[in-house]
């Protein structure tokens, strides 16, 4: 089936909408101007800076919406703009590879006799060294009489005992030490009573869930007066954070190794919009948060948390 440029744009646009990412958010993630993103979706490559930038922009767009750019380029191989350097470099790489293989083979066969001689010489030296080691051991063992040698018995305190004459000697009975009655039994101290070991009383309870391409799960955080959120990225993912009144705390791409943390103890409701849950780890009040859907099944998820704060 022959695909048109318009269908390539539709493919990217549908993937973007499935992840609920606007063109403005995509512009923030990819750093590509919004008008260029619109041109890609419309298949209008003439307004882009050049063919090289067209391919680069399409690749960044695809990665941001979770599409493998290599598979996308293979599927639209005849439609995606190609630069002249890519065509010529493909031919030159084939020729260079053939030349490199030929030179490597010639060099190997020219050095093969030398390698064999070196291996033979090393093997000979190893054989001679092992032979002399065995000879030294044989010379040392030749003077032994086969039994233990006692160099001196002049010390009167030394007694040579024949193992056959040894008789079992009963072990001395050790006097038992009486344990005071007040120390005989030590009651176990419950772990929860130990100082500094108060159990965490907070609860994060799921109260609602909406499935779909971008599922949304609602939780209630209660039995605590603290509400902190920490997000750490192991890759690249769009992250949006806002409260129940629509105020945005964060809305950008969280790069690999980056971490953001907030104290929302004064907020009543917080919503997390995570574009790629495979790369973003979340902690609530210092405790690891487990996504309601497996990240490999639902990459884009929204988490809403209502805070039922405990008042002192």
**What pLDDT is attached to residue 97?**
62
Per-residue pLDDT tens over the stretch 112-156: 889 999 999 999 999 999 998 887 776 665 555 444 444 444 444
Contacts of 42 (CB under 8 A, 6+ apart): 6, 9
Per-residue pLDDT tens digits for 148-179: 444 444 444 444 445 455 455 455 545 445 54
Task: For 179-194, write each residue's pLDDT tens digit.
Answer: 455 544 544 544 444 4
> Residue 130: how many CB atoms within 10 A of its CB?
10
**Cα distances (angstroms) measured from residue 168 to each of 163, 164, 172:** 11, 11, 12
The predicted structure's pLDDT at residue 161: 46
Would you say 238 and 253 are in contact if contact means Cβ atoms under 8 Å apart? yes
Q: Look at the block and give the residue holding tokens 């009651």.
A: 187
CA–centroid distance for 137 within its chain: 54
C-alpha span between 141 and 206 (Å, rounded)? 80
- The pTM of the full predicted model, rounded to 2 decimals, is 0.39
CA dihedral 246, 247, 249, 254 (to 10 degrees): 30
Tokens linked to 36: 């260029």
231 and 259 Cβ atoms separated by less than 8 Å: yes
Residues of the chain with CATH 1.10.260.40: 5-82
CATH fold of 5-82, please? 434 Repressor (Amino-terminal Domain) (1.10.260)
Instruction: Report yes or no: 250 and 271 within 8 Å, Cβ to Cβ.
Output: no
Helix or strand (DSSP H, E) at 263: strand 259-263
- Asked whether residue 243 carries a pLDDT value surpassing 90, the answer given is yes
Per-residue tokens: 19: 């992840």
Q: Rounded to whole angstroms, how far apart are CA atoms 292 and 177?
A: 60
Q: From the CB of residue 232, how many other CB atoms can be counted at a distance below 10 Å?
A: 15
């Amino acid at each position: 089936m022959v695909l048109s440029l318009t269908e390539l744009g539709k493919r990217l646009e549908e993937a973007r909408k499935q992840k609920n990412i606007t063109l403005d958010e995509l512009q923030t993630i990819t750093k590509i101007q919004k008008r260029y993103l619109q041109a890609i979706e419309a298949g209008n490559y003439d307004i882009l800076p050049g063919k090289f930038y067209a391919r680069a922009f399409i690749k960044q767009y695809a990665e941001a919406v979770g599409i493998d750019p290599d598979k996308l380029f293979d599927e639209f191989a005849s439609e995606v703009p190609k630069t002249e350097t890519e065509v010529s470099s493909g031919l030159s790489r084939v020729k260079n590879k053939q030349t490199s293989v030929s030179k490597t083979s010639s060099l190997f066969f020219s050095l093969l006799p030398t390698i064999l001689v070196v291996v033979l010489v090393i093997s000979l030296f190893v054989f001679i060294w092992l032979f002399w080691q065995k000879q030294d051991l044989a010379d040392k063992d030749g003077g032994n009489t086969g039994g233990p040698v006692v160099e001196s018995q002049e010390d009167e305190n030394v007694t040579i005992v024949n193992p056959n004459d040894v008789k079992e000697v009963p072990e001395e009975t050790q006097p038992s030490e009486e344990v005071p009655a007040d120390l005989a039994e030590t009651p176990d101290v419950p772990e929860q009573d130990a100082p500094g070991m108060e159990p965490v009383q907070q609860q994060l309870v799921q109260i609602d869930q909406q499935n779909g391409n971008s599922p949304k799960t609602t939780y209630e955080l209660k039995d605590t007066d603290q509400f902190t959120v920490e997000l750490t990225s192991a890759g690249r993912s769009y992250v949006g954070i806002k409260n129940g009144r629509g105020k945005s705390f964060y809305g950008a791409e969280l790069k690999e190794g980056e971490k953001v943390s907030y104290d929302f103890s004064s907020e009543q409701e917080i919503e997390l919009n995570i574009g790629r849950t495979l790369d973003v780890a979340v902690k609530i009040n210092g405790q690891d948060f487990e996504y309601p859907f497996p990240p490999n099944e639902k990459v884009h998820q929204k988490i809403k948390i209502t805070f039922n704060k405990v008042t002192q």
